[in-house]
């Protein structure tokens, strides 16, 4: 089961999905706020946890087996929480999904405020530009390529979900790190070797909270290794999934 991140939908796995389908039955979900899943206020990340667990349980009932789940970015956080609500997740893969290290943030407060203003002003295209450049770390050429891609209109349509996902954390004193401590299944964190250093730092903090975790870096990759180096990305995931518990 593949779970996309912020701004995206199931089509973000268009490159690696067919590669995984050689050896697995693959289901790529559209999280809430995207068509055809729809939306239902008020928003809380815990509702995303429940969504993931519901789909996992449905798949497990249909197939008679536990489900391996891969989440990219914020989708990995949703998958992490979902794994605490069902016994039917076998192994979990997270690509740069860790919350920011304690006392730090992925984005400057003024960037979040600017995104809030753009969201309130209903300027989704500029909101996406700011998010990609100042949060994800895209350079000008990468932003331009994103805007020229055929999936760009769908990303614009989902731009209203950016701020709520960017600022979401689980309730409780320790937030998502507290959630992680309850995840007993094997968890692989993948990070891009060329990503902003804070992504590796965040993964290290999350790994300390996970009872059964590990981290692998993908050389020369940033936040989109499932597109930048799909062969290596898939190989690392397949190696992890093939391990015996």
Residue 102 has phi, psi (to 5 degrees) of -55, 130
Look at residue 65 and tell me if it is in a domain. Answer: yes
Choose the weakest-confidence range: 168-172, 189-193, 208-212. 168-172
What is the spatial distance between Cα 15 and Cα 167, in angstroms, rounded to a whole number? 29
Choose the weakest-confidence range: 14-18, 37-41, 144-148. 37-41
pLDDT tens, position by position, 36-53:
888 888 999 999 999 999
What pLDDT shows up at residue 206? Answer: 97
Look at residue 226 and tell me if it is in a domain. Answer: yes
> What mean pLDDT value characterizes the chain?
94
CA 25 to chain centre: 20
List of residues 6+ apart from 104 with CB closer than 8 A: 198, 201
What pLDDT shows up at residue 135? Answer: 83
The CATH number covering residue 64 comes to 3.40.50.1820
Q: Are 190 and 97 in contact (CB under 8 A)?
A: no
**Closest CA relative to residue 7, chosen from 111, 94, 117, 136:** 136
Look at residue 118 and tell me if it is in a domain. Answer: no
Look at residue 109 and tell me if it is in a domain. Answer: no
Number of independent structural domains in the chain = 1
Residue 68 has phi, psi (to 5 degrees) of -85, 135
What pLDDT shows up at residue 137? Answer: 78
Domain of residue 206: give its range.
2-104+171-242
List of residues 6+ apart from 32 with CB closer than 8 A: 38, 39, 40, 43, 47, 48, 51, 161
What pLDDT shows up at residue 44? Answer: 94
Look at residue 71 and tell me if it is in a domain. Answer: yes
| For helices 74-82 and 45-63, angle between their N-to-C axes, nearest 10 degrees | 60
* pLDDT band, residue 105 (cuts 50/70/90): confident
Average pLDDT over residues 62-88: 97
* pLDDT band, residue 245 (cuts 50/70/90): low
pLDDT tens, position by position, 151-187:
999 899 999 999 999 989 887 768 999 999 999 999 9
What pLDDT shows up at residue 244? Answer: 80
Average pLDDT over residues 18-42: 93
Look at residue 18 and tell me if it is in a domain. Answer: yes
Per-range mean pLDDT, top range of 77-86, 105-114, 140-149: 77-86
Look at residue 116 and tell me if it is in a domain. Answer: no
What is the spatial distance between Cα 222 and Cα 195, in angstroms, rounded to a whole number? 4
Look at residue 161 and tell me if it is in a domain. Answer: no
More confident residue, 60 or 244: 60
């Amino acid at each position: 089961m593949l779970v996309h991140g912020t701004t995206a939908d199931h089509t973000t796995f268009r490159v690696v999905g067919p590669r995984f389908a050689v050896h697995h039955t693959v289901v790529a979900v559209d999280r809430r706020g995207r068509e055809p899943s729809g939306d239902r206020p008020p928003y809380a990340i815990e509702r995303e946890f429940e969504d993931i667990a519901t789909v996992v349980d449905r798949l497990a009932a249909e197939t008679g087996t536990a489900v391996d789940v891969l989440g990219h970015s914020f989708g990995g956080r949703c998958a992490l929480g979902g794994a605490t609500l069902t016994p039917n997740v076998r192994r979990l893969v997270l690509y740069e999904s860790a919350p920011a290290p304690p006392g730090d943030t992925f984005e400057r407060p003024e960037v979040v405020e600017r995104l809030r203003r753009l969201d309130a002003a209903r300027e989704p295209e500029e909101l996406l530009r700011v998010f990609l450049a100042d949060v994800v770390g895209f350079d000008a050429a990468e932003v331009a390529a994103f805007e020229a891609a055929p999936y760009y209109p769908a990303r614009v349509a989902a731009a209203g979900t950016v701020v709520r996902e960017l600022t979401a954390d689980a309730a409780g004193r320790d937030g998502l790190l507290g959630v992680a401590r309850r995840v007993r299944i094997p968890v692989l964190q993948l990070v891009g070797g060329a990503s902003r250093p804070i992504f590796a730092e965040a993964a290290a903090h999350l790994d300390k909270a996970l009872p059964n975790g590990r981290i692998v870096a993908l050389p020369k990759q940033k936040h989109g290794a499932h597109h930048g180096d799909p062969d290596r990305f898939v190989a690392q995931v397949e190696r992890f999934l093939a391990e015996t518990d």
